[in-house]
Amino acid sequence: MKLLFVDCCISQRGEGSRTKKLADAFLTAFREKWPKLDVETVTPEALLALKPFDVEMLNERDALASVGAWDAPVFNLARQFRGADAVVVAAPFWDMSFPAALRTYIEYISANGLTYHYDETGCHGDCKAERLVYLTSGGDFEREDSVGVVYWRQLAAMFGIPRFDYVFAGGLDAAPEQATELLAGACALAEKLAKEA
């Protein structure tokens, strides 16, 4: 079982990141369920080093795709994402969604012909993972149709990943006196999800 952990826990709290605590709760429980688990992590530093695609980069990537050069470095993240058995994405709730570095990562994994393809009936996913879990923590309480959650739900469908789950640890700044309790509840939910299926 190979789990890809996309760690976008960019936080001024450092190791005290609430989002990271949520991710650790999930990963610890998942490791208990899958003792031989192989975890590959995309670190915050790696995410922040990604350059958004400009026209030249897009043209180069299209040229490589047109000759099936999927082993080119520009496809490294997409190949890694495609081959994972499970994916966990953790990111704080920033500016109604998530940090820009994660959006840039999405540009890299969205490789037409590798992680998804089109035919006359539309878009089809080509990724191996059975499930994708999105973990986030926010200052405000969770609202319906949270953009980050909706976005990752739709990405999972686009990549052909059948099961999507999420945990939104909300209200951590709105109700600071309850933050410890709210986060603990979210961590318990993440642990429960990790033990399922």
Residues that bind ligand FMN (CB under 6 A): 9, 11, 13, 17-20, 92-96, 137-140, 172-173
Please say which residue, 140 or 191, places its beta carbon nearer to ligand FMN.
140
Q: Helix (H) and strand (E) counts for the chain? A: 7, 7
Please say which residue, 13 or 163, places its beta carbon nearer to ligand FMN.
13
At 193, give phi and psi (nearest 5°). Answer: -60, -40
**Least distance from C-beta 185 to ligand FMN, angstroms?**
14
- How many C-beta neighbours within 10 Å does residue 8 have? 28
**Least distance from C-beta 22 to ligand FMN, angstroms?**
8
**Least distance from C-beta 82 to ligand FMN, angstroms?**
28
Strand pairing report for 163-169 and 131-137: parallel
Half-sphere exposure of 150 (CA within 13 A, CB side): 8
Taking each helix axis as running N to C, give the angle between helix 100-109 and helix 76-83, from 0 to 180 degrees, rounded to the nearest 10. Answer: 80
Please say which residue, 117 or 143, places its beta carbon nearer to ligand FMN.
143
**Least distance from C-beta 40 to ligand FMN, angstroms?**
21
DSSP track, 136-154: EE-SSPP-TT-HHHHHHHH
Measuring CA to CA, which residue among 99, 104, 10 is closest to residue 51? 104
**Least distance from C-beta 31 to ligand FMN, angstroms?**
21
Please say which residue, 40 or 173, places its beta carbon nearer to ligand FMN.
173
**Least distance from C-beta 74 to ligand FMN, angstroms?**
29
From CA 78, how far away is CA 71, in angstroms rounded? 10
Please say which residue, 54 or 95, places its beta carbon nearer to ligand FMN.
95
Q: Which residue has the tokens 């600071």?
A: 176
Please say which residue, 11 or 80, places its beta carbon nearer to ligand FMN.
11
